[in-house]
Amino acid sequence: MNPLTHLDDDGRARMVDVGAKPVTRRIAIAEGRLDTTAEVIGLVRSDGLKKADVLPTARIAGIQAAKRTSDLIPLAHIVPLDAVSIDFGFEERAITIRATVSTTARTGIEMEALTAVAVAGLTLHDMVKAIDPAAQTGGIRLIEKRGGKRGVWRADA
């Protein structure tokens, strides 16, 4: 069998059959970050911008992207999500992003969590690129997943 499960034995892409998998409650948490300058972080965090739309805009973009994952990632299944939330944090030169998604379905939702983080990050990137063209979106990785055959998985710290 091809160890890359999205390919058949001839190496051709397909959407893997999940019809025989049980419906279970599943949770996936992913994280990522936008690396930028201290100046940008200052602007985003400053008192004057407390009411600003920077983080809400990125949050909404991330939530909507989670729902569109199967439309963006060719071999991903349509999975109606039970919940999506996105949290941001600040470092001196970075905004950190964390997405938590859950479902009650036959297949995992790692890609939904990763896609939410990526699109939230790109939306922040869009808002800061005029003053920091060297900004970078990255570190997009799975932190934890629960549910399904393999139970709980957690990334190394």
Rounded to a whole number of angstroms, the minimum distance from the CB of residue 92 to its own copies is: 18
Euclidean distance between the first and final Cα of the chain, in Å?
32
Structure tokens given for 93: 């030169």
Nearer to its own copies, 3 or 92 (CB): 3
Nearer to its own copies, 7 or 92 (CB): 7
Q: Which residues are catalytic?
A: 126
- 50 and 67 Cβ atoms separated by less than 8 Å: no
Structure tokens given for 99: 């997405």
Rounded to a whole number of angstroms, the minimum distance from the CB of residue 38 to its own copies is: 14
User: What letters, b where the CB count within 10 A reaches 16 and e where it falls short, cover 13-35?
Assistant: eeeeeeeeeeeeebbbbbbbbbb
Nearer to its own copies, 10 or 92 (CB): 10
Rounded to a whole number of angstroms, the minimum distance from the CB of residue 82 to its own copies is: 4
**130 Cβ partners below 8 Å, 6+ apart?**
none
